[in-house]
Structure 1
Amino acid sequence: MTGTRIRPAARAAALLVGAGILLGGSGCATATAPESDADLQVIATTGILRDIAEHVGGDRVSVTSLVPDSADPHTYEPSLRDVRNVVTADVAFSNYMLLEEHSIIKTLDANLREGVPNISLAEGAVKYAAEIIPLVENVSLDTVWLGLRAAGDGAQYGATRSSDVLVSATAVSGPGDVFGYLTGTFGDPEVYFDSSDGFDQATGYRDDTARLPVDAHTHMSWVFTEPGRYELTLEARLQADQNAKPVELATETFTFAVGINPGDVAAPGATILDLGHADFTANLDTDELYVQYDAEGGGEGTQTVYAADAVVIEVPSKAIAEIPAAPQFDFLGTAGAQIYQLPQAVLGKHVHGEIDPHLWQNVRNVMAYAELMRDTLTEQDPDGATVYRDNTDAYLAELDKLDRYLLATINEIPAADRQLVTTHDAFAYLADAYGLDIAGFVTPNPATEPSLADRRKLTETIRNLGVPAVFLEPNLVARASTLTEVAGEQGIEVCTIYGDTFDATVTSYVEMMQFNADSLLRCLG
């Protein structure tokens, strides 16, 4: 496939209001593409996917990634240049399974031209024998986790992976103010709900609304400024696309017992939620808003559904904390003032689904990615079929060698020492494929100092298992203060492991996995 392609590149000069940087619908205006020696312009969301696509496509493709190397795909926000790259793409590859920040997915879906393949690799690779692992969360807090969830696919409303589920706080009663916010990777809060300045119906509760992708859930922090009984009213809506008027799904009121005996406010027969994992859940298929609760953190399949009036959420006195002195938390009040907090269970902007999206930590899954990319590129560029096949065969041979290298290298580590403690829950596939155990990952909330109990649990894990080292991802060092401090106290090494991104040291997928294997052997063996 050669020659000039017609693309709507001229539209990249205009931006529309929406989550992320979006242009209008695809295929409505045209412009001539810039000259390129490559037959196909390919856009990938991450550097890892870019590298795989370059190996499969070779000289017939020009591949660009949206998320820069060293950046976090969970939090990266697309730029205008990223939008232009999407507009001119002939093929798009995302990992999905809610790995990428939602605005990245919206940027792809809103700006690709009509007919351009838009491949979700983690889902599509299952047909090529990729293995997926359910995301089971480790409940380690001594209060309930409380988040938000969007359940169902909303097909009757035309929902897609780019749709927004809107959960708005519309009213609250109680002795103090209520805040709901999410703390990002580097400690900056994104405020979802703030009762201190009221809830503005005239703006559609814009300033008190959380947005979720379809079939996702997120952890967050909740703060109450005074003890007592609170009743919080939430409204769930679905916005199928950026130009559609949101559809109202349901409105319900939920009760909190803050620093008081929950039995004093619970209706007869009501369930008190004091530990485990609970989500305020908007169901797109049944038009309901309720609580999904799981005492063990085992995922959606193990959760129990409770109507809003059938539960009381306990915020106990042991949840008392102080407002941090950092200026980004001034919205909560005066630094040092006492608050009641249900902390965010998992650090960082952690919006995810029920399947662990980090498939590439098993090399066999990347082989499936490569085969799916091969077939996608061949369909778009039949003249390059032989090139894509030969490139993929060569890359599969390299990946097979890499897979055997990881197996052999990690097998040199004594079985009892194959215990992995990290900052980020991204290595279940690595552990499952190559015989490691996930001993723990660090999830402190940077809005508050880690408790003595948090440190004690981590210390005991390291001491009891005889862990000789802990592992940090270079792009997530800001999360690691507790882990590095405890490691220093225990006299063990702090080593490097790569999860989501490349940097100046590691610039390809094969290099990344070889580095991880060598680092594991050196530090654990």
Structure 2
Amino acid sequence: MTGVTGRARRTGGAACVALAAAVVPAACAAPGPAGGPDDGRLQVVATTGILADLARNVAGDSADLTQIVPDGADPHSYEPTLRDVRDVVYADVALSNYLLLEEHAVVKMLDANLPEHATNVSLAEAATKYAAEVIPLVENLNLDTVWLGLRVSGTGQDLGATRASEVRLSATSIDGPGDLSGFLTETFGNPRAYFDSSDGIQAGDRDSVTLPVDAHTHMSWGFTEPGVYRLELAAELLADGPGAPVQLGRESFTFAVGVDPHGVAADLAADLGDGTDVEVLDAGHADLTVRLDDRDLVIQADAIGDPGEGDPGEGDPDHEGDPDHEGDPDAVGHPHSASLDPARTVISVPAKALAPVPAGRGFGFLGRAGDPVHLLPQAVLGKHVHGEIDPHLWHDVRNAKAYVQVIRDTLTAADPEGAGEYHANAGRYLTLLDETDAYVAETIAEIPRTRRYLVTTHDAFAYLGRAYDVEIAGFVAPNPATEPSVADRVRLTRTIRSLDVPAVFLEPSVAARSQVLAEVAAENEVAVCPIWSDAFDDRVTTYVDLMRANADSLRRCLTPERSTP
């Protein structure tokens, strides 16, 4: 982090900037607009509307504040524009949440284009100085097949990696009786294939995917014929600056598709000939993982065996902290994770994973619409790259207070002449946040404990649940490649009925693509009520509005005499 002395300012129109991936020649920014970088005020950029609102309450009139991700847009998938680059190149202070909340292109754009004098703050990490508490991102959808993603673990500092670095995973060979594809279905249902053997394996970016350092992404996997498949992946670190990529190794991963996985495991053990058992991975959340600090590839798995044997996401609370039950130290937030050797593991794709090829545009790599194909579901619809820590800290107001204190200190260091105003503004706002925290706690406490269950569409409310004693009962995660199965709907219906919840909650920004939740709610005669997570809209325009509106919505919809939206 680089501080600023006084009100240092970069002016003029000759500053060259690079947008996001920086794979094209740098673009040169035009001079800043009147009333912007040349008006004498501190120039501040914040990635999201929530961060911008917090900063605005501290800065007052002493800073000119620009928001990168527009209201109503999803910070997880927003792609920056040249206008955003122009705003960043004149900034004195940049505020991001990080913990992989923002689309990685936004972080790369910030880090590549901020002037040398600017201060660049990752608020979620810096806020721990003021007692902000972070919690693991727990993902448990109780799927009846393996939920298989990709992951990069470790920091890679010894290899020169920074938060703007990426790791590229490339398919070097795919063998099997049919075609194998690893793909992602984006928010509006459009597929994007990363690995696809239907047209041959291509060198370069054709059959590859890049991930930020210490990140995870969900994936869908398709297999056109039953049998045994082997996917070889090679990994390399794309660090900032000049120099060749750092090679991180390669491994072959074995899939048993529609055939007995234990028989495949026995054959593999016989081929190895060293007496070592071969594991069958057939349930839970698992990732094909690049370990940066070890420079190798493994399978990081949260559960092995029958999904009924335990909770693959949260682990057994009776053993938390017990060294006899600790797994891979890289598996932050997953106390029962294990790092499995790909050479001694078979990933099961059972016969029940057979489904028709979707009729939607772009699924031709899987076959003709309606043809049978074995699918491992992506589980969470949309581009969803994240880290091990839940980044939505602000749903606990006490964490938002820590953000405000970091912002106050940052603006004061960048502009000592404005210190008095920043401290006074922050003091008043912290008082308002104390009042907001009390309001949220008191409002939610009015909900009977037996009704205090949150069923929603987005796994973003763990901080709300922990801070205000709300049980996160589940969230909707349809198979992105097909219509949700009968089993998917049965599980959601069972949750609603067994907990006797009077309402489920839907973010207004995703209402158009969350039909399953609305349909199941209608079938069970429960209300659908609003809840806000990452973004503002025309009804909720400030952070205080967001927290109060969520508390009001929970009380109104979960309290028996108030159970109408």
TM-score (norm 2): 0.88
Q: CA offsets, 1:57-76, max 9 Å, x none?
A: 00011111111100000111
Q: 2:476 aligns with which of 427, 433, 442?
A: 442
CA contact (8 A) 1:75 1:101 kept: yes
2:547 and 2:506 map into 1 onto residues whose CA distance is: 15
Unaligned runs of 5+ in 2: 270-276, 304-311, 315-332, 560-565
Shift of 1:98: 0.8
Q: Secondary structure at the match of 1:515?
A: helix
Partner of 1:209: 208
Partner of 2:387: 353
Q: 2:313 aligns with which of 297, 301, 313?
A: 297
Shift of 1:224: 0.5
* Structure-2 change in CA distance of 1:20 and 1:82 (3 Å): farther
1:96 and 1:17 map into 2 onto residues whose CA distance is: 16
Partner of 1:412: 446
Larger deviation, residues 324-333 vs 456-465:
324-333
1:147 and 1:19 map into 2 onto residues whose CA distance is: 27
Q: 1:454 aligns with which of 482, 488, 495?
A: 488
Q: 1:188 aligns with which of 187, 190, 193?
A: 190
Q: 2:549 aligns with which of 497, 512, 515?
A: 515
1:32 and 1:227 map into 2 onto residues whose CA distance is: 59
* Structure-2 change in CA distance of 1:517 and 1:245 (3 Å): same
Shift of 1:374: 0.3
* Structure-2 change in CA distance of 1:65 and 1:21 (3 Å): farther
> Are 1:18 and 2:36 matched, yes or no?
no
2:209 and 2:222 map into 1 onto residues whose CA distance is: 16
> Are 1:502 and 2:536 matched, yes or no?
yes
Partner of 1:401: 435
CA contact (8 A) 1:41 1:91 kept: yes
CA contact (8 A) 2:166 2:237 kept: yes
Q: Secondary structure at the match of 2:152?
A: strand
Q: Secondary structure at the match of 1:207?
A: coil
Partner of 1:68: 70
**Code of the aligned partner of 1:228:** G
> Are 1:81 and 2:97 matched, yes or no?
no
CA contact (8 A) 2:7 2:42 kept: no
CA contact (8 A) 1:423 1:479 kept: no
CA contact (8 A) 2:18 2:113 kept: no
Q: 2:295 aligns with which of 273, 282, 287?
A: 287
* Structure-2 change in CA distance of 1:497 and 1:287 (3 Å): same
1:270 and 1:417 map into 2 onto residues whose CA distance is: 45
Partner of 2:308: none
1:473 and 1:85 map into 2 onto residues whose CA distance is: 29
2:462 and 2:538 map into 1 onto residues whose CA distance is: 25
Identity percentage of aligned residues = 57
CA contact (8 A) 1:361 1:429 kept: yes
Unaligned runs of 5+ in 1: none
Q: Secondary structure at the match of 2:518?
A: helix
Q: Secondary structure at the match of 1:265?
A: helix
1:443 and 1:76 map into 2 onto residues whose CA distance is: 21
* Structure-2 change in CA distance of 1:84 and 1:471 (3 Å): same
Partner of 1:226: 225
1:345 and 1:403 map into 2 onto residues whose CA distance is: 33
Shift of 1:349: 1.5
Shift of 1:245: 2.5
Larger deviation, residues 301-310 vs 78-87:
301-310
Shift of 1:263: 2.2
Partner of 1:386: 420
* Structure 2 counterparts to residues 44-443 of structure 1, below 5 A: 44-201=46-203, 204=204, 206-241=205-240, 243-266=242-265, 267-268=268-269, 269-295=277-303, 296-298=312-314, 299-443=333-477
**Code of the aligned partner of 1:482:** V
2:100 and 2:468 map into 1 onto residues whose CA distance is: 25
Shift of 1:478: 3.5
Larger deviation, residues 216-225 vs 37-46:
37-46
Partner of 2:522: 488
What's the Cα RMSD here? 2.0
**Code of the aligned partner of 2:260:** N
Q: CA offsets, 1:283-312, max 9 Å, x none?
A: 111110111111113444431111111100
CA contact (8 A) 1:273 1:313 kept: yes
Larger deviation, residues 347-356 vs 123-132:
347-356
Q: Secondary structure at the match of 1:302?
A: coil
CA contact (8 A) 2:140 2:285 kept: no
CA contact (8 A) 1:422 1:441 kept: yes
* Structure-2 change in CA distance of 1:139 and 1:8 (3 Å): farther
After superposing on structure 2, the runs of 4+ consecutive aligned residues of structure 1 that deviate more than 6 Å are 1-4, 19-22, 28-33
**Code of the aligned partner of 1:304:** A
Shift of 1:333: 2.0
Shift of 1:32: 7.2
Q: CA offsets, 1:259-297, max 9 Å, x none?
A: 111123222210000001111111111110111111113
2:23 and 2:139 map into 1 onto residues whose CA distance is: 29
1:38 and 1:51 map into 2 onto residues whose CA distance is: 21
2:238 and 2:300 map into 1 onto residues whose CA distance is: 22
2:479 and 2:152 map into 1 onto residues whose CA distance is: 23
CA contact (8 A) 2:258 2:351 kept: yes
**Code of the aligned partner of 1:419:** Y
**Code of the aligned partner of 1:375:** D
Aligned residues: 518
* Structure-2 change in CA distance of 1:277 and 1:4 (3 Å): closer
* Structure-2 change in CA distance of 1:356 and 1:419 (3 Å): same
Shift of 1:403: 0.5
Shift of 1:151: 1.0
CA contact (8 A) 2:30 2:86 kept: no
CA contact (8 A) 2:6 2:414 kept: no
CA contact (8 A) 1:5 1:32 kept: no
1:23 and 1:48 map into 2 onto residues whose CA distance is: 30
* Structure-2 change in CA distance of 1:7 and 1:400 (3 Å): same
Partner of 1:474: 508
Partner of 2:563: none
Shift of 1:448: 0.6
**Code of the aligned partner of 1:293:** A
1:454 and 1:100 map into 2 onto residues whose CA distance is: 29
Shift of 1:110: 0.6
